[in-house]
Amino acid sequence: MKRRGRWRQPSLEAAMQSPTQLAVQLARHWQRADWREKHLLQAASAWPLRLPIAAPTATQFRDDSAAVAQHLQAWRAIAAQGLGRVLWQARQYQAAAAPVDLPVQWELAKPSDYLAAIRALRPAGHAGIAADYQALQSVLARVDALFHRLLLRRLALWRGVPIDDVATAARMALQLAPGCAQGRPLRALAVAGNDSKFFERHAALLSALLDVRFDGEASRQGLIAFLDASADDEHWLLLAPLAPGLLPFARQRVAASELVNTPLPAQRILLVENERCLHLLQALMPLSDCIAILGAGLNLAWLAAPWLQGRQVAYWGDIDTWGLHMLARARSHLPQLQALLMDRATFDAHSRAAVAEPLLAPCPEPGFLSSEEAALDAHLRSLDRGRLEQEFIASAAVESAVRGWHGTDR
């Protein structure tokens, strides 16, 4: 079907591509993580890079000989400078007495040719591309190949970080392992010659590097929890009263250290691993004399607070090896703690929602899980899909368990 309206001659820009215009395409390539990975990690199969050069139209050749001459001159200059290889092909135009040699393809044989073209033609962002390329050359030569893909794809993660620090972080990521801090502060971990504040300055980079080794667990749990370290700074917990009048706010954050010496005005304390489950608890309100504390993760030492020893405390976490590991840690501080929705029956009832747990938690210390919970831990470790996250448990099951612990009916 033909479009109505006046036909317009293609612009010169659309038909004759200058070296500068193709350099803009090259600069855009660099912004794509897939392109960087392919052309710097898989160089043997990705090069040479060939860019087609559009030829002048017959109308342009006839009516704008100056532009055509400028086009040819620009590509001859590229060939003379040795910026890659320009391929030429003879073409016959009706307006010409003899065939005319035209540039039809620009070929860059290797990454250094690409960089030379970027530097010479100076497209927008050329200085940043050159800086990224030089940094990558230095970094990839100094870090384990395991991390090359991450560093190539996520330039913003380490751009501006001293090369020595990136290399140190990569060496540390090869030495660190889940739970290796054993409760010590991060600054006390003397790994790969890091200084006392290295973890603090480069937490995001270290987490990303560890994610490569441990399938994203460092980011999912947080670096401190993943390493089982005590934080140098405060860990903030979310408090949510489940009945009116217990606290002055519907929700508030409190430093874990403050809870050690500050009793909460409720006899029942519900400890919940993930903050994402708050809406399930709020749907049960009011639950008299009950406050929920969410988001503790592995930061559980505050459960040894004397005022908690006489309270009715329940713990609800994910049904996976990490959830049971945290349950055991919580019980080591508060032996009377009762687990909710962390049993084989709940897991089996929701098994369709279970997913793989890429990295298993360290085995819990003996004596802090019941025999049924220890059997569940062993069962989960044997499964391909042994993780059931809290938010996928049916709301009716949550209501039944929480109200049963609380001692109330609907």
Contacts 24+ apart (CB under 8 A), 81-85: 81/120, 83/19, 83/113, 83/116, 83/117, 83/120, 83/121, 84/108, 84/109, 84/113, 84/116, 84/117, 85/48, 85/109
Q: How far apart are CA 99 and CA 119, in angstroms?
A: 34
Q: What is the mean pLDDT of the chain?
A: 88
If you search the block for the tokens 């010590």, which residue do you land on? 184
Question: Phi and psi dihedrals of 89, rounded to 5?
Answer: -150, 135
**What residues does 106 pair with on adjacent strands?**
51, 86
The mean per-residue pLDDT over the stretch 330-347 comes to 94
Ramachandran assignment for 367, one of left (phi > 0), alpha (psi -120 to 50 degrees), beta (any other): left
The mean per-residue pLDDT over the stretch 52-58 comes to 90
pLDDT at 4: 39
Q: How confident is the model at residue 70 (pLDDT cuts 50, 70, 90)?
A: very high
In terms of C-beta density within 10 A (0-12 exposed, 13-18 middle, 19 or more buried), how is residue 192 classed?
Answer: middle
Q: Where are the domains of the chain?
A: 13-125, 142-227, 236-406
Query: Do 49 and 107 touch, CB atoms closer than 8 A?
Result: yes
| Structure tokens belonging to residue 82 | 């040795």
Q: How confident is the model at residue 409 (pLDDT cuts 50, 70, 90)?
A: low
CA 236 vs CA 217, 239, 276, 277: distances in Å: 20, 10, 15, 17
Sheet holding 252-255, edge to edge: 252-255, 236-241, 290-294, 268-272, 312-316, 338-339
Instruction: Select from 387, 391, 337, 393 the least CA-distant residue to 361.
Output: 387
What's the length of the chain? 410
The mean per-residue pLDDT over the stretch 42-60 comes to 88
For the stretch 218-256, pLDDT in tens is 988 888 888 887 655 567 889 999 999 998 888 999 888
Helix, strand, coil percentages, rounded to 5, for the chain: 50, 15, 35
Q: How confident is the model at residue 43 (pLDDT cuts 50, 70, 90)?
A: confident
Query: Do 87 and 103 touch, CB atoms closer than 8 A?
Result: yes
As a whole number of angstroms, the longest Cα–Cα distance in the chain is: 103
Q: How far apart are CA 9 and CA 317, in angstroms?
A: 67
For the stretch 80-121, pLDDT in tens is 999 999 999 999 998 888 999 999 999 999 999 999 999 999
Q: How far apart are CA 320 and CA 386, in angstroms?
A: 6
Give DSSP secondary structure letters for 96-127: -SS-EEEEEEEEE-SHHHHHHHHHHH--TTHH
CATH number of 236-406: 3.40.1360
Inter-axis angle of helices 163-175 and 126-140, to 10 degrees? 40
